[in-house]
Structure formats: structure tokens, C-alpha cells
Amino acid sequence: MDLRIVPDADAIAQQAADMVAELLAAKPTAHFCLPAGRSPRPLYAELTRRATAGLISFEQARFTQLDEWYGLLPDDPGTCLNDLREHLATPLGLRSEQWLGFDSAAEDPLAECARVAVALAERGDTDLCLLGLGLNGHLGLNEPAGWLSGGPHLTQLSASTRKHSMLAHLAQPPTHGMTLGLADLMRAARILVLVSGADKREALERMVKGPISSKFPASLLQWHADCVVLADAEAGGT
């Protein structure tokens, strides 16, 4: 695991964008796995800036959504899909065929996860999987547990995850989510984890140096052959 401590969120965005640009230059058809939420937004803004300036192109790239809250209506602003549309897909002008994601309002969530699993197998493994770090060590919506699912699956959300800022507008946050599994994430050619804020300091320490356990899923990234962690000074403790 390659831990890099940088000054702030802007530095994280710049270095992460450089990695994306490097990959696109080598492979214009690169396959990305992307999360929603606040952590990657500075990066998405920087990628949009570079694309608008003609410095990079996502014309041939493919994207797979990391996870989704289950039970939200499609027009709910809290869905991961709508968050990603607002901050990345729409600004970049991505086409629907470039995108693979979960339907938050699917009638049968297990069938929806099976659909995503088939589509993901057809696309192939991701070239770059972008992740945030949950305070309890969750990756995507893979929550701490005695065992972890490998492929796309329905998961019960922990109490802390249900307090996520994306769900703050809801009187009754969802109890379940749909997410890519740990095997899906670990098959990525490269994993890039973005970590910022003093509140993530303990979780970062456990991810990088703690014992490997399904009860802290992020610790499993220690086994990945090419995992880069970009952390700001507050999270890194410097």
C-alpha cells in the first residue's frame, strides 16, 4: 500500500487527476469505478476543468458506479446516481452507454444486483477503482461483518452509514444499499483511496497498519498489489 500525505483536499484532487490523465493517455478506453459523495468532488471538479480545457478526454472511457442507496426514488437528490450525474457525468457530457449503475428503485434488489454482476462481467475488470474510507472501515457499502460478499449484492447499512450526509434530508434513511463486492474492487488494476479530515485519522491508521479483518473491510486493501492512498495532512496526522 502506497500512502502519500499531501497538504490538503486540493492537492489530493490534483494528484488523483494526474493519475487519471496518465491512465487515459495510455488507455483511452479505460474502465473506472466511481463513488458518490463529498470526498471525490474536488477531484471531479478538476477532471471537468481539464476535460473542458481539452487536456483530457473521456470520450471512449467507461464508468461503473460503486454503490447505491436502495429504496430511494430515481429523482431523489440523495441517490448516488444523481450525485454523480451532477458532479461528473453531466459536466463531462457522458453518454448513457458509457455508464453502468444500480437502479435505486428496482422492484427486486437481488435481481438488480445480479443484472449489474452480468453487465460488469461483460465489461471486464476496472482499470482504476476510486474509493473513499468510511469511519468504520466500510468500502463502498461493504460494511464490517464476519464475512464479506465478493460480487454485487444487497447489504444492510450500519447505523453510522445511515447518518451519511447524502441522506441528511430524509426523515427515514434507507436501511439497505446495493454495492460492488470486495472481489470486484480487488480485481481493479489500481485502487486509489481518497482520505481527508482529522476525523479519518484513526480509520486511516487501521487501514494502512492494522490487522486485516472483514470487521474493518478497508484493511483488506493491504493485500492489493497497486493501492495508492492520498491523504491530507489532517488525516495523515502531520
Is 67 marked active-site?
yes
Is 108 marked active-site?
no
What digits encode the pLDDT tens for the residues 189-200?
999 999 999 999
The confidence score (pLDDT) of residue 81 equals 95
DSSP three-state, residue 236: helix
What digits encode the pLDDT tens for the residues 44-68?
999 999 999 999 999 999 999 999 9
Q: Is residue 76 within 8 Å of residue 44, measured between CB atoms?
A: no
Q: Which of 67, 68, 76, 184 is catalytic?
A: 67
Is 142 marked active-site?
no
Q: What average pLDDT does range 196-219 have in this prediction?
A: 94
The confidence score (pLDDT) of residue 237 equals 79
Residue 226 CB partners (closer than 8 Å, separation 6+): 2, 189, 190, 191
The confidence score (pLDDT) of residue 146 equals 87
Grid coordinates of 220: 483488506
Q: Which of 59, 86, 125, 136 is catalytic?
A: 136
Is 143 marked active-site?
yes
pLDDT above 90: residue 148: no
Q: Is 125 exposed, middle or buried (0-12, 13-18, 19+ CB in 10 A)?
A: middle
Question: What average pLDDT does the chain have?
Answer: 95
The confidence score (pLDDT) of residue 147 equals 85
pLDDT above 70: residue 238: no
Q: What is the pTM of this model?
A: 0.94
**Which domains are delineated in the chain?**
2-236 (3.40.50.1360)
Q: Which of 138, 153, 164, 224 is catalytic?
A: 138
Q: Which of 46, 83, 112, 143 is catalytic?
A: 143
